A and B are shown apart, each in its own frame.
Chain A
Amino acid sequence: MAAAPHTVDDLAGADAARSGWLHVVARFVRQRPLGAVGAALIVLICVVGAGAAWIAPYDPLANDYGSMLAAPSAAHWLGTDAFGRDVLSRIIYGARTALTVGVGASCIGATLGSLIGLSSAYFGGRIDLLTQRVMDVFFAFPVIILALAVVAILGTGAGNVILAIATPMVPRCARVVRSSALSVREMPYVDAARASGFGHGRIILRHMLPNVMAPILIMATAFLGEAILLEASLSFLGLGVQEPTAAWGLMLRGAAVEFAETAPWMAIFPGLAISLAVFGFNLFGDSLRDALDPRLRTQ
């Protein structure tokens, strides 16, 4: 006989075992159509990003001075930019950049934030208080200012941008995880684990972490959307990913603004791509939260 389910995962697992994952997906789509749309968008972006080398019709870096600022046509579906580079190809490769930066920043931010939040909740007392104060300090900075400061220190470029975006996310994640973890800490199995003499690390990672996965997941999906937006803002300011890399925010600056009237496709499509990506992540995240938070379920 199976042990009584303790965690959301247990429940979902039991459910799935009964009806198969295909049924779970089907039920998700039926119950939460918006979330399904979000998920579809995410999958689309992932596929596009991963398969960029096969899907993109042109080399995103190749200048073609013969067809600068060309309107959308059969040859260039979304037109070309100020250097004759194919906009569609750059958007496709831009998906790769967006995902890399978004997932990278989100992972780093969520991981670091979760560890801090969990430890803070677990150890409690003075450590908790001190960590709280430190997190508060970071919290008091506007997100973009913190990101700007990190970029000013480390310099521009994709790797540094990931770190710059992850930085303001850490305290936000830590705060959310801490509040969830506080309730978990009082659970009997944590006490039992402690009584059994398990080390702190083991308790945190194997016993507490799984139970706060739900808020972490929701947070991570929300972060992904924000990370893509923040990267776009930084690149727009010229402090993010640099030319000639294909990145959506980068495509929105410079010539796109200048030629906005005569060549609007340069500004419209990358902005649309950003909006769709963030839209998808948020839709999915919202529905995920609705699904995982028992208090919000419809009858």
Chain B
Amino acid sequence: MGAYIAKRLLAMIPTLLGVAVLIFLLLRVIPGDVVEARYLAQGSQFQSQELMDQERAKFGLDQPLWKQFADWMGGLARLDFGVSMWTDGPITQEIKLRFALSLQLALMASTIASCLAIPLGILAAVKQDTWVDYAVRVFTIAGLATPSFWLGSLMILAMLVVFKWVPPMVFTPLWVDPWQNLQQLAWPALAVGYRYCAVGTRMMRSTMLEVLREDYIRTARAKGLWAKLILTRHALKNAILPVLTVISTEFAFLLGGLVVTEQVFNLNGLGMLFVEGISHRDYTLIQALVLLVATTFLAVNFLVDIAYAWIDPRIHYR
């Protein structure tokens, strides 16, 4: 088991390195850089070439690519994530508050999703091809089909017109003022959670269906109620694993991927930071953000893999 864990951990490193290289190159392929974004975006009539060159030198943008990459890697090795090219502030500061919001939103959406997806999926599987199944599938697919930003806009509009109420504008962390915090985050969590739950429900339904076809379940059914209960619980345990995988994978993406939702609900989260960073050509910030999201994703995958291997010992002998 220990060897399996070590192997999986080691496998993460080249992927992370690949992500680092990819985002590094991708950013530099995008036309424009932070200096242009700062000084030319306003169309100023009084631009100074030497000023821009000085600024470029400050950020090391005039160095050859490999040197810039090496500097960045070196910094990471010292756990120095550098400063944002746009604000000159340490990146850890920039990310901290937004991370809290995005994390909370992701957790809330996951909770909503899991609480709904598992029972709904099981229900649909057990009652396959009945109207219950159809109702659940329609509900699920509607969740996948509805653009979350449209849903969000409609929600805000409904609240404004019907209740004359607007969610709070500023993020208060949960431990400071939970009521205020929830007032702001409940709605995007619902909008995101609905879609998220759809993904989970589908997976739950299909794995449950697979498991219910297994011979031992049919035998148990034939044998009677007790056996059926015991074995159904066993079936459930097997069926849940892929669902948990899907839910965890999606969770990792929620951290940086809620760009449009954050815009609609005006949330100061990682998604908006991404978009702003790209539009500012803030290389250091985007690089750090991408690494953060990728690491989360890989870490979640890793944990799920370990869980799988622990539950099913056959796996790590492959």
Contacts and interface: CB of A to CB of B under 8 A. Distances in A.
Is any CB of A less than 8 Å from a CB of B in the complex?
A: yes
Question: Which of the listed residues B23, B146, B149, B256 has the most CB atoms from chain A within 10 Å of its own CB?
Answer: B149
A149 B278 contact: yes
B37 to A, nearest CB: 12
B257 interface: yes
Interface in B262-315: 263, 271, 274-275, 278, 290, 293-294, 297-298
A236 B149 contact: yes
A141 B263 contact: no
Nearest to A150: B26
Interface string B155-192: 00100110000000000000000000000000000000
B150 interface: yes
Interface in B137-164: 137-138, 141-142, 144-147, 149-150, 153-154, 157, 160-161
A107 interface: no
Nearest to B281: A152
Contact of B18 (A133, A144, A261): A133
Contact of B290 (A141, A252, A264): A141
Interface residues of A, number: 44
Given A252-B150, A260-B153, A296-B209, A141 B19 contact: yes
A283 B136 CA distance: 12
A232 B31 CA distance: 24
A279 B141 contact: yes
A282 B141 contact: yes
A225 B195 CA distance: 14
B15 A275 contact: no
Contacts of B274: 145, 148
B65 to A, nearest CB: 16
A257 interface: yes
Interface in A221-277: 225, 229, 232-233, 236-237, 249, 252, 257, 260-261, 264, 267, 271, 274-277
B129 interface: yes
A163 interface: no
A278 B145 contact: yes
A134 interface: yes
B278 A152 contact: yes
Contacts of A233: 147, 149, 259-260
B213 interface: yes
A148 B145 contact: no
B63 interface: no
A295 interface: yes
B22 interface: yes
A261 B213 CA distance: 51
The secondary structure that dominates the B interface is helix
Nearest to B128: A298
B137 A148 contact: no
A122 to B, nearest CB: 20
Contacts of A144: 257, 259-260, 271
Given A144-B257, A153-B26, A278-B144, A295 B294 contact: no
Given A133-B15, A149-B30, A252-B150, A142 B145 contact: no
B206 interface: yes
B259 A237 contact: yes
A137 B19 contact: yes
B153 A143 contact: no
Contact of A133 (B14, B209, B210): B14
Contacts of B138: 34
Given A133-B14, A145-B290, A149-B30, A274 B147 contact: yes
Contacts of B157: 260-261, 264
Nearest to B144: A282
B153 to A, nearest CB: 6
Interface residues of B, number: 50
Given A137-B18, A137-B19, A144-B257, A283 B141 contact: yes
Interface in A178-230: 225, 229
Contacts of B154: 267, 271
A59 interface: no
Interface in B62-105: none
B29 interface: yes
B253 interface: yes
Contacts of A279: 141-142, 145
A142 B257 contact: yes
A211 to B, nearest CB: 20
Contacts of A142: 253, 255-257, 293
A296 B15 contact: no
Question: Which of the listed residues B14, B160, B255 has the most CB atoms from chain A within 10 Å of its own CB?
Answer: B14
A84 to B, nearest CB: 23
A196 B268 CA distance: 62
9 contacts: A137-B19, A142-B255, A143-B253, A149-B27, A261-B160, A267-B150, A274-B147, A283-B137, A298-B128
Interface of B: 14-15, 18-19, 22-23, 26-27, 29-31, 128-129, 134, 137-138, 141-142, 144-147, 149-150, 153-154, 157, 160-161, 202, 206, 209-210, 213, 253, 255-257, 259-260, 263, 271, 274-275, 278, 290, 293-294, 297-298
Interface of A: 33-34, 133-134, 136-145, 148-149, 152-153, 225, 229, 232-233, 236-237, 249, 252, 257, 260-261, 264, 267, 271, 274-279, 282-283, 286, 295-296, 298
